[in-house]
Amino acid sequence: MPSRKRSATRKQREEFEAGFTSLDGLFERAERAQGELDSRREAAYRSRSCERKMHYDTRADAEDAIARCEERGRHGLHCYRCEFCGGWHLTSRQG
Ligand SMILES: [Zn+2]
């Protein structure tokens, strides 16, 4: 029966569109959750790379600290300019 078939098709279409709508909502929620995750990651990165570290005002101060560490047998330290506070921190990782 053609009319019944058309009706079934329209029902499927409606369900499909309804599914799309709720998928959009899901996507928006996922994006918002991702944004929150990013800001938590940012905060964790900031804490790890800046707030929990010794702060040096100048590269010379940081290099001086590295030299003192090397005198005590702590080798492999590097300093880097901090993107958060504009000061200098030490890291044991290259770069
Ligand atoms: Zn910093």
Give residue 2's pLDDT. 58
Dig out the tokens for 41 from the structure: 């990651």
53 CA distance to ligand 1 middle (Å)? 7
Segment 67-76, tens digit of pLDDT: 999 999 999 9
pLDDT at 81 over 80: yes
91 CA distance to ligand 1 middle (Å)? 12
Rounded Cα distance, 81 and 69, in Å: 19
65 CA distance to ligand 1 middle (Å)? 16
81 CA distance to ligand 1 middle (Å)? 8
The residue with greater pLDDT, 55 or 14, is 55
Smallest Cα–Cα separation from 70: which of 81, 82, 62? 62
> Following CA atoms 18, 24, 26, 28 in sequence, which dihedral angle do they give, to the nearest 10 degrees?
-150
Segment 9-19, tens digit of pLDDT: 787 777 777 67
Find residue 94's DSSP bridge partners.
Answer: none
Segment 14-53, tens digit of pLDDT: 777 767 666 777 778 888 888 999 999 999 999 988 999 8
Dig out the tokens for 59 from the structure: 């590269």
